[in-house]
Amino acid sequence: MSELALDREIDRSKMKVSDEVAIQITDMNKWYGAFHVLRDINLTVNQGERIVIAGPSGSGKSTLIRCLNALEEHQAGKIVVDGTELSNDLKNIDKIRSEVGMVFQHFNLFPHLTILENCTLAPIWVRKTPKKEAEERAMHFLEKVKIPEQADKYPGQLSGGQQQRVAIARSLCMMPRIMLFDEPTSALDPEMIKEVLDTMIELAEEGMTMLCVTHEMGFARQVANRVIFMDAGQIVEQNEPEEFFNNPQSERTKLFLSQIL
């Protein structure tokens, strides 16, 4: 796997980590039937952190971040997002989903809706935002991801990179405090990876709290303040990027890095 060079100037001094806790996971365990997929997960994420989650396929990365906005249930332990405990109480789930945006590998846009409608659907129907206000906000975020001119097109008319930027804009329209990314560039051609990473870097520079599952180790090195390595359902190791890459502690991390770098 090649390491994409980010030729953009990245100003990490703008990426401030606050003392305020955004996500607290305590002794969390999850099973799929009899299969113990997440084991004793403990993790505290502060506001403004940019965390990259790395690890081999099947290690539980997607399951972990899907638990953070209740796309998956956990069976033991505690998850608190922005001060709200994630129980199976639907009211809390709605509150948490409104604060946590998620972007997937496959963009999951609604193919029969225009780009603008994709961005206004949830604000109008879930948040009861007036249509005009929702459209103004959607245009603001489409400008931010640099495709306002695509607003009236349908997803199928856009490139993969453009569709992924729409997916990011659509999430931002719900005004989340935390963004989760699950391999947002894995389905993209190389020339489109950079435009999506650029959008993510801008979000980081604005102080967004981000958890990103990604194989883009250039992004991890330059943007993350912490890299978490998962294997077999556990957090095996975590460190600041420089230490993580230059001085991995566990044998499993060393093996993983030797395979990808």
- Extract the tokens encoding 188: 């993209």
Binding partner of residue 125 among ligand ADP, Mg ion, none, CB cut-off 5 to 8 Å per kind: none
Residues that bind Mg ion (rule: CB under 5 A) add up to a total of 1
Binding positions for Mg ion, 57-86, rule CB under 5 A: 62
Task: Identify which of residues 13 and 57 has a Cβ nearer to ligand ADP in the complex.
Answer: 57
- Cβ distance to Mg ion smaller for residue 62 or 164: 62
Contact by Cβ (8 Å): 238, 25: no
- CA diameter of the chain: 55
Q: What is the 8-class DSSP label of residue 210? A: E
Q: Give me the residue label for tokens 């099973």.
A: 31
Report the interface residues with ligand ADP, using CB under 6 A: 32, 35, 37, 55, 57-63
Nearer to ligand ADP among residue 41 and residue 134 (C-beta): 41
Task: Name the minimum Å distance from CB 21 to Mg ion.
Answer: 25
Beta partners for 84?
81
Strands (E), 168-243: 178-182, 209-213, 226-231, 234-239
Cβ proximity to ligand ADP: between 60 and 248 the closer is: 60
Q: Which is nearer to ligand ADP, 60 or 155 (CB)?
A: 60
Query: For strand 35-46 and strand 84-85, is the pairing parallel, antiparallel, or unpaired?
Result: unpaired
- Closest distance to ligand ADP from the beta carbon of 255 (Å): 16
- Min CB(197)–ligand ADP separation in Å: 19
- Select from Mg ion, ligand ADP, none the partner in contact with residue 58, using the beta carbon and a kind-dependent cut-off of 5 to 8 Å: ligand ADP
Min dist CB 13 to ligand ADP, Å, is: 32
CA distance 118 to 169: 10
DSSP code for 140 = H
Q: CA-based Rg of the chain, rounded to a whole angstrom?
A: 18
**Partner that binds at residue 32, options ligand ADP, Mg ion, none, CB closer than 5 to 8 Å by kind:** ligand ADP
Q: Which is nearer to ligand ADP, 121 or 232 (CB)?
A: 232
Task: Report how far apart, in Å, the C-alpha atoms of 160 and of each of 19, 156, 196 are.
Answer: 37, 9, 10
**What backbone torsions phi and psi does residue 39 show, to the nearest 5 degrees?**
-120, 115
Instruction: Note whether 214 binds Mg ion by CB under 5 A.
Output: no
Q: Which does 59 bind (CB under 5 to 8 A by kind): Mg ion, ligand ADP, none?
A: ligand ADP
Q: Nearer Cβ to ligand ADP, position 40 or 242? A: 40
Calculate ∠ Cα 154-110-95, nearest 5°: 135
The binder of 37, among ligand ADP, Mg ion, none, by C-beta within 5 to 8 A per type, is ligand ADP
d(CA 96, CA 51): 19
Applying CB under 5 A, the residues found at the interface with Mg ion are: 62
